[in-house]
Amino acid sequence: RKEGYKGRTITLKIRFHNFITLNKSKTLENPTHLDDIIFKTVAELLDKVRLKKGGVRLLGIRLSNLTPGNKSNQLKFVRDKEDKLEQLSQSLDKIREKFGSKAITRASLLKVITNKRKASN
Protein backbone atom coordinates (compact mmCIF):
# COMPACT_ATOMS: atom_id res chain seq x y z
CA ARG A 1 0.00 0.00 0.00
CA LYS A 2 2.85 2.34 0.86
CA GLU A 3 4.22 1.99 -2.68
CA GLY A 4 0.80 2.59 -4.24
CA TYR A 5 0.07 -0.91 -5.53
CA LYS A 6 -3.06 -3.04 -5.37
CA GLY A 7 -3.36 -6.78 -5.88
CA ARG A 8 -5.98 -9.08 -7.35
CA THR A 9 -4.85 -12.43 -5.95
CA ILE A 10 -4.92 -13.20 -2.23
CA THR A 11 -3.12 -16.35 -1.08
CA LEU A 12 -3.35 -18.03 2.31
CA LYS A 13 -0.44 -20.31 3.24
CA ILE A 14 -0.72 -22.74 6.14
CA ARG A 15 2.05 -25.05 7.36
CA PHE A 16 0.91 -27.68 9.82
CA HIS A 17 2.82 -29.27 12.72
CA ASN A 18 4.00 -32.09 10.43
CA PHE A 19 5.38 -29.58 7.86
CA ILE A 20 2.65 -30.27 5.31
CA THR A 21 1.99 -26.96 3.55
CA LEU A 22 -1.33 -25.91 2.06
CA ASN A 23 -1.93 -22.89 -0.20
CA LYS A 24 -5.38 -21.49 -1.01
CA SER A 25 -5.84 -18.55 -3.38
CA LYS A 26 -8.63 -16.37 -4.64
CA THR A 27 -8.41 -13.88 -7.49
CA LEU A 28 -10.65 -10.85 -7.07
CA GLU A 29 -12.53 -9.13 -9.87
CA ASN A 30 -10.93 -5.77 -8.98
CA PRO A 31 -7.51 -5.11 -7.46
CA THR A 32 -7.41 -4.01 -3.80
CA HIS A 33 -5.08 -3.15 -0.96
CA LEU A 34 -7.81 -2.56 1.61
CA ASP A 35 -7.56 -4.43 4.90
CA ASP A 36 -11.30 -5.08 5.01
CA ILE A 37 -11.44 -6.89 1.68
CA ILE A 38 -8.21 -8.82 2.30
CA PHE A 39 -9.39 -9.86 5.79
CA LYS A 40 -12.78 -11.08 4.51
CA THR A 41 -11.17 -12.98 1.64
CA VAL A 42 -8.65 -14.67 3.94
CA ALA A 43 -11.50 -15.61 6.30
CA GLU A 44 -13.34 -17.22 3.35
CA LEU A 45 -10.22 -19.16 2.38
CA LEU A 46 -9.62 -20.24 5.98
CA ASP A 47 -13.21 -21.52 6.24
CA LYS A 48 -12.41 -23.97 3.42
CA VAL A 49 -9.43 -25.47 5.28
CA ARG A 50 -9.77 -28.45 7.56
CA LEU A 51 -7.39 -27.73 10.43
CA LYS A 52 -5.42 -30.63 11.85
CA LYS A 53 -5.17 -31.52 15.55
CA GLY A 54 -1.42 -30.95 15.88
CA GLY A 55 -1.64 -27.23 15.27
CA VAL A 56 -0.28 -24.73 12.78
CA ARG A 57 3.40 -23.77 12.50
CA LEU A 58 3.02 -20.98 9.96
CA LEU A 59 0.20 -18.82 8.68
CA GLY A 60 0.98 -16.46 5.82
CA ILE A 61 -0.97 -14.09 3.61
CA ARG A 62 0.26 -12.85 0.24
CA LEU A 63 -1.18 -10.24 -2.12
CA SER A 64 -0.05 -10.74 -5.73
CA ASN A 65 -1.02 -9.98 -9.30
CA LEU A 66 -0.11 -6.35 -8.51
CA THR A 67 -1.16 -3.28 -10.47
CA PRO A 68 -0.52 0.44 -9.90
CA GLY A 69 -3.10 1.72 -7.42
CA ASN A 70 -4.41 4.59 -9.51
CA LYS A 71 -6.10 2.35 -12.12
CA SER A 72 -9.79 1.75 -11.52
CA ASN A 73 -12.59 0.56 -13.78
CA GLN A 74 -15.25 0.26 -11.10
CA LEU A 75 -18.67 1.87 -11.04
CA LYS A 76 -18.96 5.18 -9.17
CA PHE A 77 -20.90 3.87 -6.13
CA VAL A 78 -18.36 1.06 -5.69
CA ARG A 79 -15.51 3.59 -5.96
CA ASP A 80 -17.17 5.86 -3.37
CA LYS A 81 -17.24 3.04 -0.82
CA GLU A 82 -13.68 2.08 -1.72
CA ASP A 83 -12.58 5.73 -1.37
CA LYS A 84 -13.94 5.82 2.19
CA LEU A 85 -12.17 2.55 3.04
CA GLU A 86 -9.03 3.97 1.42
CA GLN A 87 -9.15 7.04 3.69
CA LEU A 88 -9.68 4.78 6.70
CA SER A 89 -6.73 2.57 5.72
CA GLN A 90 -4.46 5.59 5.25
CA SER A 91 -5.45 6.95 8.67
CA LEU A 92 -4.80 3.57 10.31
CA ASP A 93 -1.41 3.36 8.59
CA LYS A 94 -0.45 6.81 9.93
CA ILE A 95 -1.51 5.91 13.48
CA ARG A 96 0.42 2.62 13.36
CA GLU A 97 3.47 4.35 11.91
CA LYS A 98 3.47 6.96 14.67
CA PHE A 99 2.43 4.85 17.69
CA GLY A 100 3.31 1.27 16.71
CA SER A 101 1.47 -1.63 15.11
CA LYS A 102 -0.56 -2.42 18.24
CA ALA A 103 -1.84 1.14 18.76
CA ILE A 104 -5.14 0.50 17.01
CA THR A 105 -7.06 -2.61 15.98
CA ARG A 106 -10.46 -3.68 14.71
CA ALA A 107 -13.20 -4.06 17.29
CA SER A 108 -14.07 -7.40 15.68
CA LEU A 109 -10.61 -8.68 16.68
CA LEU A 110 -10.90 -7.62 20.33
CA LYS A 111 -12.82 -10.78 21.23
CA VAL A 112 -10.04 -12.92 19.71
CA ILE A 113 -7.34 -10.98 21.59
CA THR A 114 -9.29 -11.13 24.87
CA ASN A 115 -9.83 -14.89 24.52
CA LYS A 116 -6.11 -15.43 23.85
CA ARG A 117 -5.18 -13.48 26.99
CA LYS A 118 -7.65 -15.48 29.11
CA ALA A 119 -6.30 -18.76 27.72
CA SER A 120 -2.69 -17.83 28.52
CA ASN A 121 -3.49 -16.99 32.19
CATH code, domain with 110: 3.30.1490
Is residue 44 classed as helix, strand or coil in its secondary structure?
helix
Encode pLDDT of 12-40 as tens digits.
999 999 999 999 999 999 899 888 899 99
pLDDT of residue 71: 56
Rg (CA), the chain: 17
Q: List the beta strands (DSSP E) in 2-121.
A: 5-16, 21-32, 56-68
Report the domain count for the chain: 1
Band the pLDDT of 118: cuts 50, 70, 90.
low
Structural domain of 74: 5-120
CA distance 10 to 86: 18
